Structure 1
Amino acid sequence: MSRKTLLRTGPLSQGGAGPYGPVEEPVAGGLTLPAGFGGRVVASSGSKVAGLTWHAAPDGGACFPDGDGWIYVSNSELSLLGGAAAIRFRPDGSVGDAYRILSGTELNRAGGATPWNTWLSCELGHRGRVFECDPYGARAPRPRLAMGRFKHEAAACDPDRRVVYLTEGEPDGCFYRFRPYDWGDLTEGALEVLCGSGRWEPVPWPAALLKGTRHQVRGARRFDRADACHYAGGVCFFTTRGDGALWAYDAQTSAVERLCDGVRAVTAAPSGDLYVTRRTTRIDVITPDREIAPFLTLAGHAGAELTGLAFAPGGDRLYFSARRGSDEGHTFEVTGPFRR
């Protein structure tokens, strides 16, 4: 069933136990999962991972193929000491390496992966930048200033229309898209903002010093601190931190729908299921027929935010982080019979 079903069949419904049945007893690290699933902590802030001290305040993340293995990338939302780091996994799931891929930036919140296997790390600070990073650690990161200077939260690539959607962490923030002149090269392009009419209008001065991007186009649609976003099947799903909502932007019709409340982050599985983190320490699954049900709870981490949702390329492992304050953070891996 197409992911577009999420936009077209009415409101979400509570689906009881969901596609995997009820959650059971806690396992490693306080994870509570359905039968057949397991989990572990792969990294903790301040502790070594393959010789690298794992960063505090882990936030947005993504996975990338690496031969028979894979790589998980994670941002750090710290002032002055933010950036991003990567963990390289061997085919059997063991950790082979860990390393920094971005340093010297700050408040790196969410971000997004590109189809050409780079990581877009977004700065939340005033006049924040988007940095394109190499998850394999071979090339130096590069700022992509044509994507605008504002409080960047997340990025999601739409390969069908060859644009990158961008969210803004302001109470009166906007929803943007960047149209590179050459798909696969984000050095130059046009920044546009979604307006209330559903039209996209060009932002005249993406890097303006005195007038923010969100104030440059009359009629721009406002969102309360737009946060994480993920593109799948013609739809860009994004969250708003201010009111905790999950939204769906239909890229074909420009319709925007509010799907549910109490959501922090979102990603999609190969099956078309959405996985969303709640404001509580819980992850829910939303099926293509619009049923929503608990998938995971995390005990012993009261007050933590769950961030960085990402599936490994094979679709059989889900990664996320639990962060509390600016010091404590743990990055988890969940394995099991995920639907394909």
Structure 2
Amino acid sequence: MALSRRDILQLMFLAGGGAALAACGGGSSSSGGEETPRDPGDGGGTPTPTPEPPAPARELPLRAGPLANIGPLVDSGVDGVLVPEGFALRRVATAGRQPVSKLPLFLWHSLPDGGAVFSQADGGWVYVSNSEFVPGGVGALRFGADGELLDAYPILSNTRINCAGGATPWGTWLSCEEVEDGQVYECDPVGTPRQAQSHPALGRFKHEAAAVDLATSSVFMTEDEGDGRLYRFRSAGRVSAVNGAPGLDLDNGVLQVLEVEGFENGAYMEDLAGARALRRVTWVDVQSPDEPQSRVRARIEESTGQGAPGTRFKGGEGIWIQYWPEGERDTVTGFEHPLRAVVFFACKGDNRVHALDVDNDLIEVVFDNEQLISAGEDAFDDVDNLVVSPMGDVVVAEDGEAMRLMVMVPNQPARILLQVPGGGSELTGPAFTADGSRLYFSSQRGPAGLLGLPLGRTYELTVPAAFRAV
């Protein structure tokens, strides 16, 4: 019988407790030590056991979603892509070509990357997609309530290498530049490039992705550097966003980096077993937040001979937040707050996925290559974009040769949701519709456009109802 990490830790705890009890002679001592307290009402006979406080949680009480139950893959009939039986696939856009015939001047962008879906009042939705190209920018696909592709248009232009980003609770898209002095741009999914706004207060670094927690007025951001950090921007208040909805003030606040207890000032959690254990974190204000952070780190290290603030994360990639509503929040034993919000983020340098408990300031590695290898699966090949489905499934995209979308199952081997043959590309931009019925993604360098150049293809995966039940 396969044991999860939780089972192993529980067995270790019970074994340790038994050894400690034996060493104490079963709770009493014959060497003159203190006697066990007795109940004054029992005539001096049976000792009253002292209840032990519950041991603090050793991992977060995460749960798998319905996609953990998918079966083997079959040919979808579209570009050789493999999907589970009962799922359907269609190609919705090809780089260098017009997605819909009524817009002859708009061509779908090259190298599609991070994306998100935004519901619309008429029952339809918009899928936005970054362009990791020079120039960068963001394109949008407008779908009707029946899934028909109605329109396609740009919402950001004249930027540089827009990698991933993040959707905001107030309905805008944060598009991130992956360059040394990169910025974050806020876009309206149904707006125009002219309406987009940059937010320098979110820091200048190789931005990868972003996730917003409205309850704590926080924007969490990853950095795609080998010595990158995990950032948090604490907003100073609320303002009107680019789409007119009330949102966070992204121009005034404090930029911080995360430090894992025991791994401060540039230290790296080398030991995987130790990284899997729950650890406390703190947040430290960034120095010179208006300067490129890689240069700031180098200057601090040179002038002090010590590492710059922040735990090191190797190549931060996708980031997304999973929420639990009141009444469904599990207790994190030994800590103050029930589980409300967890930030999942991936790092391609060591192929780890981390889970950060926002309210309790706790972190652990929840997925890694050892789990796949021990289960007989091929190891991850550069984990990248990440999304959490409306049903609670954590899905991670993969670059390189294997080219898979993987469903993460907490502390167990992952499941393969789909695979694109051929390798040499990246799976990017996974994003679900609000009802979980459709998942959009791209093969960033799939054959496309003029002469079949590898510029990218964007797809829609239809998820059967049986895999959308929570």
TM-score by length of 2: 0.66
The one-letter code matched in structure 2 to 1:101 is I
Deviation at 1:200, TM superposition (A): 0.4
Deviations 1:170-227 (A, max 9, x none): 1111100011111422121111111233110111321126974556684411111111
Deviation at 1:9, TM superposition (A): 5.9
* Long gaps (5+) in structure 2: 1-56, 239-246, 262-280, 301-306, 324-340, 370-379, 447-452
Among 91, 114, 138, the alignment partner of 1:60 is 114
Query: Which range moves more in the overlay, 26-35 or 213-222?
Result: 213-222
Q: What secondary structure does 1:328 align onto?
A: coil
Instruction: State yes or no: 1:292 paired with 2:424.
Output: no
Aligned positions of 1:156-305 closer than 5 A: 156-183=211-238, 184=247, 185-197=249-261, 198-208=281-291, 212=295, 214=297, 218-233=308-323, 234-258=341-365, 259-261=367-369, 262=380, 263-279=383-399, 280-287=402-409, 290=412, 292-299=414-421, 301-305=422-426
Higher helix share: 2
Q: 1:232–1:290: structure 2 CA closer, same or farther, 3 Å change rule?
A: farther
Aligned positions of 1:17-36 closer than 5 A: 18-36=68-86
Q: What secondary structure does 2:201 align onto?
A: helix
The one-letter code matched in structure 2 to 1:268 is V
* Long gaps (5+) in structure 1: none
Q: 1:270–1:218: structure 2 CA closer, same or farther, 3 Å change rule?
A: same
Q: Matched residues in 2 for 1:59 and 1:213: separation? A: 28
The one-letter code matched in structure 2 to 1:60 is G
Deviation at 1:29, TM superposition (A): 2.4
1:143 aligned partner: 198
Higher strand share: 1
Among 445, 456, 469, the alignment partner of 1:324 is 445
Q: What secondary structure does 1:207 align onto?
A: coil
Could you tell me whether the CA contact under 8 Å between 1:174 and 1:214 is conserved in 2?
no
Q: 1:7–1:174: structure 2 CA closer, same or farther, 3 Å change rule?
A: same
What is the aligned-residue RMSD (CA, Å)?
Answer: 2.6
Q: Matched residues in 2 for 1:210 and 1:157: separation? A: 21
1:333 aligned partner: 460
Higher relative contact order (CA 8 A, sep 6+): 1
Q: 1:54–1:210: structure 2 CA closer, same or farther, 3 Å change rule?
A: closer
1:115 aligned partner: 169
Could you tell me whether the CA contact under 8 Å between 1:148 and 1:213 is conserved in 2?
no
Q: 1:161–1:327: structure 2 CA closer, same or farther, 3 Å change rule?
A: same
Q: Matched residues in 2 for 1:211 and 1:242: separation? A: 17
Q: Matched residues in 1 for 2:291 and 2:406: separation? A: 40
Q: Matched residues in 2 for 1:214 and 1:174: separation? A: 10
Percent pairwise identity: 41
TM-score by length of 1: 0.90
Q: Matched residues in 2 for 1:213 and 1:253: separation? A: 29
Q: Matched residues in 1 for 2:259 and 2:444: separation? A: 34
Q: What secondary structure does 1:43 align onto?
A: strand
1:310 aligned partner: 431
